[in-house]
Structure 1
Amino acid sequence: MGQFKQTVALKDVKCFALHGYYPEEQLIGNHFIIDLITEFSPHGFDDELAQTVNYEDLNKIIREEMKNTQKLLETVLNNMITKVIELYPFVQTINVSIKKLNPPMPGQIGHSFVQLSYTSAK
């Protein structure tokens, strides 16, 4: 018999934050969209929240890290992954991405995009 793999995720979480490499970005801010996806082998299906990842916790992690101004979006994503691992060490993979809407540069650009992935060594 095969093995179950469970996904718990939040997608299209919209935030306003002051992330950016340039000082003016940290003053003006921008709109961002975040996806945070976790995968793991479920511990069972006994209808208990302790057996899974609580997406309310994922939302809290996203919101906290978006308030913590950073120059690089890579740093923001790494901090999110670190907090998910601390809270849910059984998670096997984490994929988190961020879109910065209308990045401040010449031309019409819908969004910039950064993604960071983690795979457990277990």
Structure 2
Amino acid sequence: MINVALHGAEFFGKHGFYPEEQLLGSKFVVDISADFEPQGALQNDKLADTVNYEHLYELTFAQMQHPRKLIETLCQAIIEDIVKHYPYVAIVTVTIKKLNPPLRGKVDHSSVTITYNKPGNGI
């Protein structure tokens, strides 16, 4: 099993339940982890034989452009894009952290984590 991951990818997005959150926007940090069995001969040193972390970033960037009320919805959309483009992934975990959420006191971040397990992968 191979794991390809992005840690601490930063984005600006207009996600949040309240109208002012969707108007003003906020900073988000995204972590993505994708586990899969090798698709080709890795000794060939070809990008097509793995999950391209640059592509993971671009898929996430595209989803961050569409405001959503729930971080859960955003997280699920990112996972769906990854599974669509890399149908051989067995497990995908996405964590989205919303920095400085608008609460009464100081909070570093709130977060949502969703893990996808491909049906039949035995995990």
Scaled to the shorter chain, the TM-score interval is over 0.9
CA distance in 2, matches of 1:66, 1:17: 6
Which of 73, 96, 99 matches 1:98? Answer: 96
* Alpha-carbon displacement from aligned partner over 1:62-93 (angstroms, at most 9, x marks no partner): 10011110000000010000000110000000
What TM-score do the two structures reach when normalised by structure 2?
0.93
Structure 2 unaligned runs (5+)? Answer: none
The 3-state SS of whatever aligns with 1:83 is helix
Shift of 1:28: 0.8
Paired residue type of 2:35: E
RMSD: 0.7
Shift of 1:56: 1.2
| Aligned counterpart, 1:79 | 77
| Aligned counterpart, 2:110 | 112
Paired residue type of 2:81: K
CA distance in 1, matches of 2:76, 2:11: 17
2:86 pairs with 1:60:
no
Shift of 1:42: 1.0
Runs of 4+ in 1 over 4 A off after TM superposition: none
| Aligned counterpart, 2:23 | 27
CA distance in 2, matches of 1:99, 1:56: 20
The 3-state SS of whatever aligns with 1:19 is coil
What TM-score do the two structures reach when normalised by structure 1?
0.94
Q: Percent identity, aligned pairs only?
A: 41
CA distance in 2, matches of 1:108, 1:93: 34
Which of 2, 7, 11 matches 1:15? Answer: 11
